Amino acid sequence: MPLPQPGVATLPLPPAMPAGRQAPVPALAAPLNLADLGQLAARQDSVAPLLARLAGALVQGAALPRPVVEVALRLLAGRLDLNRTPPDGTVLRDAVLASGVLADAARSSSSTRDNLLQLRSGLLAVLGSDAEVAVASVRRAALPLRGEAPRAAAPQGPASPGQALPEIARNLLGHTDAALSRLKLMQVASQPADSTRPDAQSARPEFRVEIPLLLGTETAMLHLQVERDARHRPSRRERAWRMRFAVHFSATGEIGAEVALFGRTANVSVWAAETDTADAIEAMLPELAPALARHGLDVGAVRVRRGAPASRPHHPGRLLDSAR
């Protein structure tokens, strides 16, 4: 089954207010397009900080207008609640479709992309002439570059209580722009390689998506990457797929995994930044084979590693290379 292709059209953002002060994550109403990847990279962040601040604003009873509250509730309802029954394949599929990365699904009125645009429009209406104020993000998610293994940033809490409505709206607007910027970069990273490039034949198509999760009261992102793996398949008749993910909750630390599927055989490699978490995962390994068998899969190699993998250095222009 071919990988779904993300949309590449520019995001139709509302009309801009005059630009003002600059900051790492500027809340400016400039168009987000592929011609300005540097600006997108400077703004980008996952939607998790925005969701945490939306939840905090609603709990604190911030006097946000009704349209902003309604779209905030829709965004928060899109989180997969791990406090309940673990999500099955259907729930995960629906979450991927709602993420806003896929072209057709991104045009849906219920997609994350559409909700972010509606939230942005509502916040601009609140701020009026103050919309040029920028918001800086303390810890931002790593850039979603093609070929890079997903990594997960530590979750962030809500903003400090007691802020006035304009300050709350400016903060939310900055994080909304950051989330829209990252969504566009994820679409770029998931595009097929340019067929005119010399290395186009060796470039493996991949699909990247992020799904918000709720554990306790904490929001974190499941960073998911799926790709075809033609280099390591046992035979030409067998399709080979590779799935990698990463997630970071305060209770577990950062966790990542790679699942390689060759025909009906799955090879699994899991890593955890925290030793206690790695020990707990290793203790649960006997449950893995029966769980995969229920889905018609056999278990090949399985291993657990302690410690997060080292990050590769990025050469200048890596973002542009990833977009080609």
Q: Does some domain include residue 202?
A: no
Least confident of 28-32, 226-230, 275-279: 28-32
Residue 43 lies in a domain: yes
Q: Among 89-98, 198-207, 299-308, 314-323, where is mean pLDDT lowest?
A: 314-323
Range of the domain at 73: 35-141+156-191
Q: For residue 64, name the pLDDT band (cuts at 50, 70, 90).
A: very high
- 3-state secondary structure at position 271: strand
Q: Is residue 10 part of a domain?
A: no
Tens of pLDDT, residue by residue over 170-207, are 999 999 999 999 999 998 888 766 555 555 445 567 89
If asked whether residues 44 and 164 sit together in one domain, one would say: yes
Which pLDDT belongs to residue 284?
A: 94
Shared domain for 62 and 173, answered yes or no, is yes
pLDDT in tens, 33-52: 545 788 888 889 999 999 99
Q: Based on the fold, state whether residues 132 and 43 are members of the same structural domain.
A: yes
**220 within some domain:** no
Asked if the structure places residue 212 within a domain, the reply is no
pLDDT at 161: 76
What does DSSP say about strands 298-306 and 240-249: parallel, antiparallel, or unpaired? unpaired
For residue 206, tell me if it sits in a domain: no
Quickly state the pLDDT bin for 257 (edges 50, 70, 90): very high
Q: Does 233 share its domain with 175?
A: no
> Are 185 and 233 within one domain?
no
Domain for residue 151, yes or no? no
- Are 162 and 74 within one domain? yes
Are 274 and 177 part of one and the same domain? no
275 inside domain: yes
**Dist. CA 49–CA 25, nearest whole Å:** 12
Flag whether pLDDT at 66 surpasses 50: yes
Write the CB contacts of 138 (distance below 8 Å, at least 6 apart in sequence): 156
Q: Give dist(CA 12, CA 109) in Å, integer.
A: 14
User: Quick one: tokens of 214?
Assistant: 């709720």
Report field, pTM of the whole predicted structure over 0.85: no
The verdict on 52 and 180 lying in the same domain is: yes
- Same-domain check for residues 184 and 270: no
Are 68 and 127 members of one domain?
yes
Residues 178 and 78 in one domain: yes
Question: How many other CB atoms are there within 10 angstroms of residue 152's CB atom?
Answer: 25
User: Among 201, 200, 247, 240, which Cα is nearest to 224's?
Assistant: 247
State both tokens at 7: 């949309």
Domain count, the chain: 2
CATH number at residue 292: 3.30.750.140
The dihedral formed by the CA atoms of 61, 65, 71 and 74, expressed in degrees to the nearest 10:
30
Q: What is the mean pLDDT of residues 164-169?
A: 90
Structure tokens at 65: 């207008």
135 and 59 in a common domain: yes
Place of tokens 């770029």: 188
